[in-house]
Amino acid sequence: MRVLISGITSFLGISTGKALLKKGHEVYGIMRPESRNKERLKGEKGMQLLSLNMESFLLWEKENGIEAEYNNSTTEAGINTERCITTERGITTENNSTTDSHAIYKSICLPSLDKLHFDTVLHFAWDGVGSLGRSDVATQEKNLSMSKAFFSWAKAHGVKRFFFAGSQAEMGKGSREEPLPASPYGEKKLAFSEYGLKNHGEMEFIDLRIYSIYGKGDHERSLVKTLVRNTLRGMETELGSGNKIWNFMAEEDFGRALAFLTDLDVPTRKGESGSQRSSKSEGENPERENADSEIEYKEKQLESGLSVQDKDCGSFTIDICSRESRLLSDYIKEIEQIGFSFLKKKGLRYSEASLLRFGLRPPNVEGDYDFTAHTKELSALGFEERVSFSSGIEELYEFIYEEEFLKA
């Protein structure tokens, strides 16, 4: 399939793009013109990186007579047809297109994107995901408006399936069934999830409630990377209470899960498979293949806990998480113990006593609420994790040790 990923140079976008390439899909990724993370995709042969401002979709929406809620854009946002040329690939680009031996980088105009006819869209682009940004109402409102415009563009251009990178923050004080977001970030993520599930029409809309993903590509100040780094340095870590239910998933499994869902055969209105897709690359999916009818398949989804929103058009909410949820403090203690074992194996000094200092930091903007994941949904559809929490953390210790300690 031809797949378009917004926010391709984000942590989750990179993981997903790499996994889709391995499955043989044609992957295009939208990135900011000034993105510095594109270097992390440099070695991915076949990746098409498109430099385009997401505000372009707001202008498209405005030009097509659909009212945009965010009207503070004062630039052309990357739409400049006078500077566009047509390349041998049939993609209209600006004159500053560059390539290397692997990934292809292009500054693309939105009218050119219209001609590429994507089968699937995965939407990761979302500003203000850090602690401060999550409380910024203006930033989150802009995210919502740009997401609606991007959704409308995809729908108008024949996209068959639209994945939205939602968040556990949408639940807040409540649950997936009765959400009560605690932050503007969670509120606007939830607002777009509900909007997509209500307005998708013939296009399938998959609402991904993503829990905590960790790995080498995560931002440097993430909880997991901070704990690993501090343990290696013999430094104390000040923490909150840690007294809430949490769920961690390895970035490798996250990317594989989204590639799996992209290939998943979901019934359409006519009872046919969407684009005749199959999920054989992750192993056969007997629950899907043995279903006698669309209704039977939906019943099996419901039995697994999957929240089916539209019985006619394969649109639903699904939690993207590992099969294990437990107290955050238990995860944190395990990360430290794995670190002590790692240092011992290396013959390096390590603390005999714990360096964790619980209860010294206030709760973050999302509050101290349990995030209880539906842990069996992915496996019920046929997906299997490969990376245990302990092995994933061990790999991260090795990576950070080599990159930041040995090379230094």
Q: Counting Cβ atoms within 10 Å, is residue 213 exposed (0-12), middle (13-18) or buried (19+)?
A: buried
* Statement: residue 290 has pLDDT above 90: no
State the chain's mean pLDDT as an integer. 82
pTM: predicted TM-score of the whole model, two decimal places: 0.82
pLDDT tens digits for 234-260? 999 999 999 999 999 999 999 999 999
End-to-end CA distance of the chain: 43
Q: Are 377 and 300 in contact (CB under 8 A)?
A: no
| Distances 51 to 39, 62, 69, 82 between C-alpha atoms, Å | 13, 21, 24, 17
pLDDT tens digits for 362-406? 988 888 888 889 999 999 999 999 999 999 999 999 999 999 988
Dist. CA 139–CA 127, nearest whole Å = 7
- pLDDT on residue 295: 39
Place of tokens 């080599």: 402
Sequence letter at residue 137:
V
Residue 62 Cα to chain centre, angstroms: 27
Local confidence band at 85 (pLDDT 50, 70, 90 cut-offs): very low
Angle at 210 between CA 304 and CA 216, to 5 degrees: 125
- pLDDT on residue 244: 94
- Domains of the chain, start order: 2-210 (3.40.50.720), 223-247+324-406 (3.90.25.10)
pLDDT tens digits for 22-75? 999 999 999 988 888 888 887 788 889 999 999 999 999 988 866 444 333 333
Closest to 228 measured CA to CA, from 344, 400, 345: 400
Q: At a CB cut-off of 8 Å and minimum separation 6, what does 147 contact? A: 123, 125, 126, 164, 192
What percentage of the chain exceeds 90 in pLDDT?
63
Dist. CA 60–CA 113, nearest whole Å = 12
- Which stretch of 285-289, 299-303, 311-315, 322-326 has the lowest confidence by average pLDDT? 285-289
Dist. CA 163–CA 262, nearest whole Å = 9
pLDDT (average), residues 284-312: 45
Closest to 273 measured CA to CA, from 314, 304, 311, 305: 314
Q: Is 378 helix (H, G, I), strand (E, B) or coil?
A: helix
pLDDT tens digits for 329-348? 999 999 999 999 999 999 99
